[in-house]
Every structure is written in structure tokens, then in C-alpha cells.
Amino acid sequence: MKRKLIQLILMVLLPLLTFGGNPDRQGEAGARELLLIPWAKSAGMHNIATSMIRGIESMRLNVAGLSGVRKTDIALASARYLVGTDLNMHALGLAQRTGENSVIGLTLMAMDFGDIDITTYDQPEGIGATYSPNFFNIGLGYAYTYENKISVGATLRIISESISDLSAIGVALDAGVQYVNGPKDNFKFGVSVRNVGTPMRFGGEGLSSRADNPTGSPSYELTYNQRAASFEIPSLLNIGLSYDFYLNTVNRLSVVGNFTSNSFSRDEIGAGIEYCFNDIVSLRGSYKIEVGQTADGNIPGSVYDGLSAGLSLDIPFGEKDMKKLGIDYAYRTTNPWNGTHNLTLRLSI
């Protein structure tokens, strides 16, 4: 049963590799906020923990990890994105176990662009008013575990981008699987597909303009409605492996590797480690790079090529210490700008 299930999942997911890493399509996708990482644990590992990620954060990488929720999890995250740009990310997540083997989750992520000056052709320094774009997406996920070894899951996500007179809405689907084996479930394998969905197109009054009657006589104005081109969302495939080394009863060291095949940019490879003491203190770090060339043959570095690091503190409380209050922090180096800072608060009850 397990072998047939794994074969079926891989037959569905792995062919998507053929669409990845295409430099000719680089920069053609929109809704790039779907690739951003609001959660600190994931950011500390450069979002490469496809095989071992658990809890609410898994809905941003491999939703199969949602099965790690024991009862009820609540998480709140905030991130200073590319320090120096005045951009911020915020996220809220809620997950609930609904049966012995099933978990349902809900996440909301929003971008904060601050106040942007409204400029015109005649007043390039601004007209004295400001605006702020509204970018958010909401995801509903479900995960199920088979025989405590195989977890599968899917997320339906709605994406919205808008300003006062323009908006675009899209729908995307994520899916993933995780497999564990070994005497203490040391070996972990994960595959996930993200952002497979409908093209998006902007529409609204912002695409309308008034101009004179083209015939010139009689003289009057007409309203012209322009149609914007549609754009794809940035679909990708993750394949990850990890192995846990239990040094003793309270010390664990995990080694992680990951490959990401992007449909609209170069592929990525990453590796990292995580050290955990007594399930209370965790330290993690990783290194990720893009591989291959761009369409013009150059090999430039990505903004996030390089190092990331993070730490977590989980404080048990309640009867038999079954409940936990957690705090996560992560820092990722960037080039240019001054890095990205992530902070997450978690509550497991």
C-alpha cells in the first residue's frame, strides 16, 4: 500500500521538473510575493526544509508537514523585508487536528508597502497625497497521515493584488508529500509542488482614459478601456532530504538538503543543519545558491544567494508540559540591501 502510494504521488509530481529552471522565462511571472517567507523557522533554513518542516509554517513550503500539529496551533509572524526598502511582511496562521490522522489549517499573509507618494507627469515630486498597495493571500490546507510514515496534503490559495483603481485575483494549488523511516524516523524525504494555478490579469478604472473623438467632428470625448496582459504565477517544485543524528537523549543534529526547480527562474540548491537541545532550544543555518545561466548567458547572483541563520525557544507549560509557547528569529543575508529579519510567535495548546 505504502509503495503504491509513493509511486502514485511521484508520478504526479516529478514530471513537473521538465518545466523548471527555464532562463528564457525568467522575470515573466507575477505575484512574486508567493515566494516570500514570512515565517522565521523557514527563513532560518532558507525555506529548504521540504522533508522535515512541521506545523503551520509547512503551508508555505510543503503542506504535508501540517500533519505535525498535535492539537491546536496558532502562529503570528512579522518580517522586515530587504532592510532599507521599508517593506514588511505579516502572517497569521491557525491549525487544528480534526481526527487521529488529519489536520486542517488556515493562513493569511499580507505585504506592507508603507505610504507611497502619488506622482504625475506634471508633478513628478508628488501631488501631496499617498497610496499603499494591498497584496495578500489566504490559504486553506489539509494534511493526512498514513500509518505514521507517509503524510500528504494540499492547500488552496487565493491571491489578491490591488490599489485604489486596479486589482487582480488568482487561485493557486499547493500539494506535497513527506515520508519518514528509520529507528527514530531519522530519514525524511519530501516533495512539494507550489503555486500551480490560474493566470492573473489586472483590471479596473485605472486602465480607462479619456480622449477626443478620433474623427474630430463633432468634437466630444470618449472613454477608452485598455486590457492588460495576463501573467502567470511562479510555480515551482521542491525535493528535499534530511537525516537526524541523535547524539544522546537530549541532543539532535539534523542535516538537510534541497533542490528547487523554478518554472520562471533559475533552479536552486541548498543545504543546512539544525541543532536542537531537549526540544527547547534550536539553532539552525543554511546556504543556498541559484544554479545555471540566464537567457543571455550570464551567471549573476540572486538577492538571497548565501547564508541564513535562526534560533528558536520553546517553553513548555500546562499539565505534563504538553502545551508550548515558542518564539523564532531568523536573519538572511541579501545583496544588495541590509538583509531580512523574521520574527514568529507560536502557541501550541
Query: Could you tell me the CATH number of the domain that includes residue 188?
Result: 2.40.160.40
How high is the pLDDT of residue 10? 53
| Chain segment 157-194, per-residue pLDDT in tens | 999 999 988 999 999 999 999 999 999 999 999 999 99
Query: Domain range for residue 293?
Result: 2-348
ω into 336 cis (within 30 of 0): yes
Q: What percent of the chain has pLDDT over 70?
A: 90
How high is the pLDDT of residue 17? 45
Number of domains in the chain: 1
Comparing CA positions, the residue from 255, 288, 237, 247 lying closest to residue 52 is 255
What would the mean pLDDT of 218-237 be, rounded to a whole number?
Answer: 87
How high is the pLDDT of residue 302? 78
Mean per-residue pLDDT of the chain: 89
Does the pLDDT value for residue 4 go beyond 90? no
| Chain segment 290-300, per-residue pLDDT in tens | 887 655 556 56
pLDDT-derived band at 18, boundaries 50, 70, 90: very low
What would the mean pLDDT of 250-255 be, rounded to a whole number?
Answer: 96
Sequence-distant (6+) residues with CB within 8 A of 345 are 75, 76, 77, 326, 327
Minimum mean pLDDT among 2-6, 263-267, 275-279: which range?
Answer: 2-6
Torsion of CA 271, 275, 276, 277, to 10 degrees: 180
Say if CB 308 and CB 330 are below 8 A apart: yes
Does the pLDDT value for residue 142 go beyond 50? yes
Say which residue, 142 or 2, is predicted with more confidence: 142
- The upper half-sphere exposure of residue 6, i.e. CA atoms within 13 Å in the direction of its Cβ, equals 10
Say if CB 6 and CB 150 are below 8 A apart: yes
pTM, entire model: 0.88
pLDDT-derived band at 19, boundaries 50, 70, 90: very low
Say which residue, 304 or 242, is predicted with more confidence: 242
